[in-house]
Amino acid sequence: MTERVGEFVPTPRLLLGPGPSMVHPRVLRAMGAPLLGHLDPEFLRLMNEIQQMLRRVFRTANRFTIALSGTGSAGMEAALVNLVEPGDAVIVGVNGVFGSRMASIVERCGGKPVRVEASWGRIVEANAIKSALARSGPVKAVAVVHAETSTGVHQPLEEIGALCRQHDALFIVDAVTSLGGLPLEVDRWGIDACYSGTQKCLSCPPGLAPLTLSERALAAIRNRKAPCQSWYLDVSLIADYWAEAKRAYHHTAPISMLYALREALRLIEEEGLEARFARHRLHSAALMAGLGALGLLPFAEEGHRLPSLNSVTLPAQVEDAAVRAELLQEFGIEIGGGLGALQGKLWRIGLMGESSAREHVLSLLSALEVLFLRHKWISRPGIALEAASRIYAGDGRKE
User: Is pLDDT at 398 greater than 70 in this prediction?
Assistant: no
Bridge partners, residue 195, by sequence: 174, 211
pLDDT digits (tens, 9 = 90+) for 106-119: 999 999 999 999 99
- At residue 246, the pLDDT reads 83
- At residue 245, the pLDDT reads 78
- At residue 235, the pLDDT reads 95
User: Is pLDDT at 47 greater than 60 in this prediction?
Assistant: yes
Crossing angle of the two packed helices 215-222 and 235-242, in degrees rounded to 10: 120
The mean pLDDT value for 7-35 works out to 97
pLDDT digits (tens, 9 = 90+) for 59-68: 999 999 999 9
91 and 133 Cβ atoms separated by less than 8 Å: yes
pTM: 0.96
Pick the CATH number of 25-269 from 3.30.1330.10, 3.30.499.10, 3.40.640.10, 3.20.20.190: 3.40.640.10
Distance, CA of 150 to CA of 334 (rounded, Å): 16
pLDDT digits (tens, 9 = 90+) for 222-279: 999 999 999 999 999 999 899 887 888 889 999 999 999 999 999 999 999 999 999 9
- At residue 399, the pLDDT reads 45
- At residue 136, the pLDDT reads 86
- At residue 161, the pLDDT reads 98
The mean pLDDT value for 350-371 works out to 98
Reduced 3-state DSSP string for the chain = CCCCCCCCCCCCCEECCCCCCCCCHHHHHHHCCCCCCCCCHHHHHHHHHHHHHHHHHHCCCCCEEEEEECCHHHHHHHHHHHHCCCCCEEEEEECCHHHHHHHHHHHHCCCEEEEEECCCCCCCCHHHHHHHHHHCCCCCEEEEECEECCCCEECCCHHHHHHHHHCCCEEEEECCCCCCCCCCCCCCCCCCEEECCCCCCCCCCCCEEEEEECHHHHHHHHCCCCCCCCCCCCHHHHHHHHCCCCCCCCCCCCHHHHHHHHHHHHHHHHHCHHHHHHHHHHHHHHHHHHHHHCCCEECCCCCCECCCEEEEECCCCCCHHHHHHHHHHHHCEECEECCHHHCCCEEEEECCHHHCCHHHHHHHHHHHHHHHHHCCCCCCCCHHHHHHHHHHHHHCCCC
User: Is pLDDT at 376 greater than 90 in this prediction?
Assistant: yes
pLDDT digits (tens, 9 = 90+) for 145-200: 999 999 999 999 999 999 999 999 999 999 999 999 999 999 999 999 999 999 99
CA atoms within 13 A on the CB side of 91: 29
- At residue 336, the pLDDT reads 98
Confidence of residue 330 (pLDDT cuts 50, 70, 90): very high
The mean pLDDT value for 78-106 works out to 97
66 and 238 Cβ atoms separated by less than 8 Å: yes
Q: Across the chain, what does the average pLDDT equal?
A: 96
Residue 261 has phi, psi (to 5 degrees) of -65, -40
**Superfamily in which the 272-395 domain is placed by CATH:** Aspartate Aminotransferase, domain 1 (3.90.1150.10)
Percent of the chain residues past pLDDT 70, beyond the cut: 98
Relative to beta strand 89-94, strand 112-117 is parallel
pLDDT digits (tens, 9 = 90+) for 309-319: 999 999 999 99
Among 1-15, 121-135, 258-272, 359-373, name the one with the lowest average pLDDT: 1-15
User: Is pLDDT at 303 greater than 80 in this prediction?
Assistant: yes
Percent of the chain residues past pLDDT 90, beyond the cut: 93
For residue 332, is it left (φ>0), alpha (ψ between -120 and 50) or beta?
A: left
Confidence of residue 397 (pLDDT cuts 50, 70, 90): low
- Nearest residue to 262 via CA among 36, 61, 60: 36
Q: What is the residue extent of each domain of the chain?
A: 25-269, 272-395
